Structure 1
Amino acid sequence: MDPASEASRCTPEFRRNPHPVYARLRDEAPVCPLRPPHGIPTYLVTRYEDARTALTDPRLSKDMYGAMDSYRRIFGDSSVAIDDNMLNADPPKHSRLRRVVNSAFTPHRVEGLRPHIRQIAADLLDECPTREPVDLLPAYAFPLPVIVICELLGVPPADRDDVRSWSTTVAHTGFDAESKRAQQQAEENLHAYFTDLVARKGRDPGDDLLSALTATQDQDGGLTGRELVSTAFLLLFAGHKTTAYLIGNALHHLLAHPAQLRAVRERPELVERAVEEVLRFDGSVESATFRYATEDIPLGGTVIPAGALVQIALSSANRDALRFSEPDRFDVTREENLQSAHLGLGHGPHYCLGAALARLETQIALSALLDRFPRVAPAVPGAEASWLTVPFPAFRGLAELPVVLDPPGATAD
């Protein structure tokens, strides 16, 4: 099968390891047409320089309402109500929406969360069995960012399992009729939930981000009611899922590279570099969210026609040998990452708003686990990793991460 067909079909083999396919595409067809299941003409961008260019090109619109027919064919009418947010907007609307939310995610404010996130990590590890296998995804990697973002937003603890379940259904839906029905129901549930929560925050505000955003409705440049509900969904969705998969990917690759794991244990200050290397080597966002061409756009030796959708393969760009030395080598001391070269958190106007928080949560998750359980090991040594299978490569994450935190007789060497 040619690489473009493999990428179009998102076969299980491709999902397990897309990097050989991306490598062929970078060499043979760096901007190539796909034949995705949704049937919309789509182009895949795989080289680093082309990806950086595409991420900043204003002719590649993020306003999916401008491509309404294509948008509805892919995601259905129910998505419209929860997608009126900064992720799907161009300037000046994007600038306004991002400015309203940005103050909650400044590096200074995020750094102030460090002690509390450490306590959350410690509490979760307290609940994990130590001498028998435990799947760290549901036990640790997912609960940590879910608790953090729900506390920031003001989502009550009793509601967290429901909103996480609904958002998981939205993220992992396919294109068949049954999947689309499940997606529509989950989107309707999320819209109804956040509509009600926003109304409650308006009547009885608390010390949380959603209450603060609700108060902007009466201010010039503030959020409308629909924008507020959609922004709440976006912050919940982006604020936990990508970070949870990033934590899982980081732990997996450290366990799979014992010398790198040993380096991080012996030099704890390397944890920040380790997180950056995971973002480059196997980040949790495989492709940026859809853009569409508002006119014919020459890129990478190809002309992307007006109206076509564009997928920017961040995972491929981050393995481009024209930008990174030995890109397929996992190296937690990599100097290039200190230059903010990788695209694991995007680039340009839509650079990840929660980048500082995602980095901090992942650094703390790794440090807390390795400090307490330096002998952590895979539950089944040598077993092949189980990766998510999704209908298009938005997320890159594990389906499970079974480990033994404190295996009998093991050593930390």
Structure 2
Amino acid sequence: MSTIYAEALMIVIVIILSTIVFVWVVPALTSNTAQDNAGAAYSENFKTIQGQFATYVQSIPETVRNSPSPPTPYQTCTLSSPVTSPTSANIFVPPNGACSITASVGSVFVSPGASLTVVGATINGDLNGNYSSGINLRNARVTGFTGLYYVQLVNISGSLLNTSGNGAAMYGGGRGSFTMTNTTVTGMVENEVGHQTFIIGNRISGDLEVESADQGQIINNTVASLDLDQNGVIVISGNTVNGPILYGTNGWCATGNNRISGSISGSCIGNTEVDVMNTGSIPVKLVAIYLSNLPLAGGLSWQLASGKQAQCGTTQSLACTQLPIIIPVRDMVQITMRWTPPPGAFPLPWDYVYFVFVSSHSNFVDGYLYFSIGLGLPSQSRLENRVCPPCY
């Protein structure tokens, strides 16, 4: 009998304890939910509709100079007869040929359709390429002038150009791809009418002029002055300019984190535009914007697609230039943001801007704006426990 009584008493104790736990836990959870307003977070929904970033921007063409003739006399270099021993002879690469130079030579001429690779060698004279398929300089030295006329692909890295210091150092022209990194140049560099022009981490004692490039990236260079004109899309970041900088007529231009000693002429404003639709049942309040994983640092303006006045701070306005962005139910907002290039270089080829919009309920929508094709993929706001930044 005592055993039955003890078991019954134990059951009663368990029931009482369970009731205490239930009474303590439920109010705590209810209070936390009410404070976080999680119900509203799940009622909120928004998505990107369209966007543009330098969409269909084109460069303004310019006349390209003509190549000089091959120097004479010369020695022919082909795939079967590379230059591996020092010579004072001028080098001629025949049409559609391939030449490798690993020892010092005289001047070099690369014919149409031909390719040249110079590694750890010195060109004691000028280097000229005329409608060549490719020119590759790695840890090379050119004592004279470098002329690149309609060369399809140019890669210059860790080299020394125009070491004689006589006049201009380099001219490049034609719709090819040009990349120069970690190179020291004595004199002026002029690059015109390029398709992709990437000039990164160089020291140029003279002026750097980039004109009529479809897409250009001028990052982390030290130059005497900088002249940018008639380009399609151009980004300038992290440069030291020991003189003036000129922003001419560029289709889309973004600049930031530069150190400029001289005057600044013209303007360089790189706007990105994204339309965001409220598809939920409650108003959406966007409280943070990130471009390239950094908080928006440039200008901001937005307006409702419906044409109605929007809540802008404490007032009503057709256009607003501050956060938060409030989107009524079933309305769309048109957002224009100025993109500031992040400090340091970013992967090549650079062809997009990554964006994130974060709401007051920590929902977010992100996406990529691609050069020439507008918004990459429309995306929905997501309920995820993700912290922005860095928003990877």
Structure holding more strand per residue: 2
* Structure showing greater Rg: 2
Q: TM-score range by the shorter chain?
A: under 0.3
Higher relative contact order (CA 8 A, sep 6+): 1
Structure number with higher helix proportion:
1
Q: TM-score, normalized by length of structure 2?
A: 0.17
